[in-house]
Structure formats: C-alpha cells, structure tokens
Structure 1
C-alpha cells in the first residue's frame, strides 16, 4: 500500500530524496527552478520514500515541476498524478501541466495514458538552457537520443 501525503517546500525528507536523485535544479521554459522551494507530494511504503511529485500552483494552473517514482509499473506514478489532480482541483485549478524533454519517451507515453495532451514543443529550448542556465545538462539523453527540445503536456481538470 502506498501512502501519499503533502509536504511544504524545504521539508528535509523531500530535500534528501531530490539530492539523491540529482534533481534539485530544473531548467524549463527559459528559467531555472529550485525544486526544493516548491511544495510536494511524497509517496511512501513502510516509511521508505518511493516517489515524489513537486508542484507549483499559479492561479488556475498547477505545474508538475518534477516527478520521480522508484521503479516502473508499480502504480506509484499514477497514484501521485491522481492525488495532485485532487489537490489542484481543491485549490481551484482547472489545468495540470508539465514540461519534459524530447528524449523522455517513457514519460511521454506515461502522461498521455493518464489523460495529458501534447500542448507545445519548444525546439532548441534544452540547447538554450544548457548554454545559459544549466551547463551540466547532457547532450545525449535516454535511448541515446540527442537532448534538444522541451515538450509540454497538459490535462484539463473537471471542477470539484
């Protein structure tokens, strides 16, 4: 059984998980975001953190800044997505959105199977972020695909 609970920005367990995953700084949409400065959902089993979803609510939009789940096909990612939809809806949001990269094929199929639609492609955005924001972004990503572009997905939320 996976337990999911909300934690405020800067919570030590969240910070430890992000540091272990090397995902404290997220470059997207031309800016660098510190994931530790955002609230999160933490998924745990038997007091072990098995997933984290960092989010940011701005008006009626809820951005999924980053999501990490231990292992695939275990249901943790899906549980986190459905929980953030509940949290966002309760706070008056009508849309979830996120940015991933062109190499992240697993992420693209995951989100589309959970009701997200492709909403934008920013060609060269990762190249630009590598030059101006985060030089340690690798040139090559998953499946040996050149890492170049940002892909944005969104999902409409029904009113609560």
Structure 2
C-alpha cells in the first residue's frame, strides 16, 4: 500500500526534487529537454539572482532542477558515481536514435551493476552521467535476467519489501512468518519483489497476504509473474481459489488484481484504522485509506 508506518510517521512527501547548480544553464536545459526528452515543468529567471529550469522525472512527483546563481561558478566536479538513472518503460531504440541524431556519444557506466542490466549512458554538458535502463523483457521463461523462486531464508532479511505494501508494523508482525513466500531476483541475487500466501480454513483457499515490487521495476511484469507463482503453487496443492485484499483507495491495486484474473467479491468498512496500527490520515493519491476490498480468483 505504501511506506511502512515508521517511515510514514517520519516524513509524508507530496513530491521530491533534486536540484543541481550549473553555469551552463541554457545548454544543460536544452540537453535534458531536447536530447534526453524530459518534460519541462517550468522555468524561472532572476529570482533573487537565481535562474533555473525544472523537469519532471517523469512527472511533477519527482523533479530535476537545474539552477544558476548570477556571477557564481559551481566548484564541485562530478564523480563517476554521480548519475541520474532513468528507467524506461518503452522506446529504448527511440532514445538511442535521438541521442545519436544530436551527436551525443554513449559511455559505459563504471558500476558493473548497470552494465549487467543492459543500461547505456551519456554525459550531460556538465559531465554528469545520465543512465538509461531498458525495460525488462517480458518474453521467455524469465523477465530479462530476473528469476523467480520460493524464498527459504529469514524473512526479516526482506521485511523491507513487505513494508512497501504494509503500513502497519503490528499487522505485519502478525503475519510475516505465515505461509510461503516467493521472490524475484535480478542477476546479482538482489530481491526485486515478493509475494506471500497462506492457507485459510480447511486449506481449500489461499490468501495472498502481502506482495510488492521495488519502485524502479514496477510496470515490468514482475508483479504479475509473482502472482502467477502463487496461483501455480496453489493449483498444484489442490486449492480451489485464491483471495487477496487491498485498500479501496489504491486504484492501482484494484486495476492490477483484475488484470491478473481476480474478481471483486466484497468490501469491508473501516479496516485501516489507528487501532489496527495504521496512521491516522493515511492516503493514496489524495484518497483516504479506510475500507478494504476483497478479490477472488477461482482455480
């Protein structure tokens, strides 16, 4: 559903902006707008001697600001690990063609992690690296170099992934060790997401208790493949149906589960309350998190 309760209590963000000084303001702004293809949100000039451009990454929820103070020259030299990383949903060939058409040469990132992902990079006019990560392929037995397996380690090691979908620490503590867990791993073994399911009642029904995918990899097909891992295991175990619940406020989840073949069955009011460990005033995209909706997929 979002961040963990401890994290959301510490900071509630509506947007985030990375600001960087440059003495090549117009050149850098043109690079990010016309070469990289970012959407320019707005520009400003001579605000207390500051001028700048703000771009969406990809929208206003995350922003890149290029700023220049009149008659000042930035003293910091970019480090090879200073990089803006852009995860592409599609259009890798189009991006590479646009870079080539503008005479921008690709460079190889120093960090082998990006090379393993098949990423490519360029330098902006100030020498800061921009890394483009291609979308994960959805054909073949794996999504790109992602593999799927049942998790047998200590769940505390991947509790961070559970917290991406659970805002109540007390609720998480109550089910973290239940049932079975499947994970998606990248080429170096890092966990990109997980799905947890447990039998209920007489064992003829499994409930998906928690599932999440790390932000950079959402929309790549990993979440759906994790759900299918659960469904396949449930069918093998002779389970008749799989159920899952989410907040009625989370429109993305409502859409996701229906695309995965689940049908809405019931709504339970006032589940996400402070008494259950959820922060008062919790919202998803401005919609209060209060009620719970259940989905079922018949096997």
- With normalisation by structure 2, the TM-score equals 0.45
After superposition, give the CA deviation of every residue in 1:71-124 in whole Å (9 maximum; x if it has no partner). Answer: 321111011011111100011101110110122111110000111010110122
Q: Does 1:66 align with 2:210?
A: yes
Please give the alpha-carbon distance, in whole angstroms, between the structure 2 residues aligned to 1:119 and 1:94.
16
Structure of higher RCO (CA pairs closer than 8 Å, 6+ residues apart): 1
Instruction: Name which of 79, 95, 102 aligns with 2:225.
Output: 79
* Matching of residues 1-160 of structure 1 within 5 Å: 1-8=145-152, 11-12=153-154, 14-19=155-160, 22=163, 23=166, 25=169, 27=171, 33-46=174-187, 47-58=189-200, 59-70=203-214, 71-127=217-273, 130-131=274-275, 133-134=276-277, 136-157=278-299
Unaligned runs of 5+ in 2: 1-144
Aligned partners of 2:206 and 2:239 also within 8 Å: yes
2:156 match: secondary structure: helix
Please give the alpha-carbon distance, in whole angstroms, between the structure 2 residues aligned to 1:82 and 1:25.
27
107 and 83 in structure 1: CA distance in 2 versus 1, 3 angstrom threshold: same
- Choose between structure 1 and 2: higher strand proportion: 1
Deviation, 1:21, is 5.1
Aligned partners of 2:148 and 2:185 also within 8 Å: yes
2:285 match: secondary structure: helix
Please give the alpha-carbon distance, in whole angstroms, between the structure 1 residues aligned to 2:198 and 2:161.
21
Q: Give the aligned length.
A: 147
Aligned partners of 1:116 and 1:155 also within 8 Å: yes
After superposition, give the CA deviation of every residue in 1:23-80 in whole Å (9 maximum; x if it has no partner). Answer: 484749xxx7322333200111111101110110231111100001123211110110
Kindly name which structure, 1 or 2, has the bigger radius of gyration based on alpha carbons. Answer: 2
1:152 match: secondary structure: strand
- With normalisation by structure 1, the TM-score equals 0.81
